[in-house]
Amino acid sequence: MKFENIVTRVGRMPLPGALTAETYDYRAEPLDALKRGEIRIETIYASIDAGARGMLDPSANYPMLLRPGNRVYTSGVVGQVVESLDPAFSPGDFVRALSVTRQKYLTVDPKRTLGVRKVDPADGPLHIHIGALGMTGFTAWLGMFTIGLPKPGETVLVSAAAGAVGSVAGQIAKAIGARVVGVAGGVKKCDAVVSRFGLDACVDYKADGLSAAIDATCPAGIDVYFENVGGVVQKLVMERMNMFGRMIMCGQVSQYNGSCSGGGGAGGPNLMNVINRRLNLRGFISSDHMDMFPAFERSVLSLVRSGKLLPCATVTEGFDQLHDAVNSLSQGRNFGQQVHQMADDPLNA
């Protein structure tokens, strides 16, 4: 066989807390011959998403739940075509695919698979297409433009502001002209959120005095909250929302690892605030809105090209180290989009 495939499947369902090496299996599996219209991609980078932990925790109520033996999902991969029976693609082309499974060689029909397209290396490092220009960037853009709708001068607060979705959401709100405050874990991350992503301030939720720090950085209250984490941060923010504020309910990462770390299970928000303050609180799942993906790509690509949006990624290696890469997100070790390098990147050799 010309190509030896390795497929990542769920091994053992994890206990609450960090994942272990037994969480995933990496199995050599045979590849079928290509059918007409299909292409085979060698995966170079795969996205690591916070939801990967939620998908393994039945108590997290995450939209997708995986079981032992299931293939492992990733929000995007970028790689190089190694075989093609689609005249629009040739071996050597760099391509991106969205919402696929994690394997060494991915076989797809570009006409039937989400977001398969050639990528232009001139737009930045290959992994930008599964970060700021992939599903995470799309999630940030969608939440901000369909739910948050910040106006210039309004105060926007973004949690997990140094992460994949949060770093793009904060920079988009800045580009709109809002006053943007981030929330992140640790002084180093908070400094970087301000110095690299250009946010107006960033609150360290791991330090003492979180409530006073939000008051100090949001003296005029909060008009738009981009919610990624849940728990104590959500509770404190909801108490400071302005009348007719908008809460973009994107994720609840503090509740994804079976132990409700970060206060996910402790003292939830008082939902009377939603009524008294006439809040618009709306959840969304980005994959429901793929018809808007082309508009997102045009908009965010132009922000990237004009230097108004700085993409950022943490790249880790080791095909069989997926558990550690996922732990990196629940432990806050990533800065920007976490991507897993699965093969050599010829553009970054």
Min dist CB 226 to ligand NAP, Å, is 9
Q: Are 72 and 46 in contact (CB under 8 A)?
A: no
CA angle at residue 339 from 336 to 343, to 5 degrees?
150
The candidate with the shortest Cα–Cα distance to 216, out of 233, 206, 228, 201, is 201
The footprint of ligand NAP on residues 6-35 (CB under 6 A) is: none
| 234 near ligand NAP (CB under 6 A) | no
Position among 23, 107, 286, 341 found at the interface with ligand NAP (CB under 6 A): 286
Contact map string, positions 104 to 133, toward ligand NAP, x by CB under 6 A: ------------------------------
Strand 222-227 versus strand 155-159 pairing type: parallel
Please state, in angstroms and as integers, the Cα–Cα distance from residue 190 to each residue in 162, 180, 249, 295, following that order: 8, 13, 22, 31
For ligand NAP, which is the closer residue by CB, 80 or 314?
314
Helix (H, G, I), strand (E, B) or coil at 309: coil
| 44 near ligand NAP (CB under 6 A) | no
The footprint of ligand NAP on residues 131-190 (CB under 6 A) is: 136, 139, 160, 162-166, 184-185, 189
Min dist CB 305 to ligand NAP, Å, is 22
Q: How many CA atoms lie within 13 A of 97 on its CB side?
A: 29
Contact map string, positions 72 to 101, toward ligand NAP, x by CB under 6 A: ------------------------------
Position among 39, 250, 279, 303 found at the interface with ligand NAP (CB under 6 A): 250
Q: Are 253 and 229 in contact (CB under 8 A)?
A: yes
Which bin fits 72, alpha (ψ -120 to 50), beta or left (φ > 0)?
beta
Min dist CB 132 to ligand NAP, Å, is 11
Min dist CB 57 to ligand NAP, Å, is 12
For ligand NAP, which is the closer residue by CB, 39 or 238?
238
For ligand NAP, which is the closer residue by CB, 150 or 170?
170
The H or E element spanning position 45 is: strand 39-48
| 43 near ligand NAP (CB under 6 A) | no
Instruction: Give phi and psi for 151, each to the nearest 5.
Output: -105, 155
Min dist CB 131 to ligand NAP, Å, is 9
Unique residue bearing structure tokens 């002209």: 177
Please state, in angstroms and as integers, the Cα–Cα distance from residue 64 to each residue in 11, 56, 92, 142, 268, following that order: 17, 9, 33, 20, 24
- Binding residues for ligand NAP, rule: CB under 6 A, are 49-51, 136, 139, 160, 162-166, 184-185, 189, 228-229, 231, 250-254, 261-262, 284-286, 329-330, 332, 334, 338
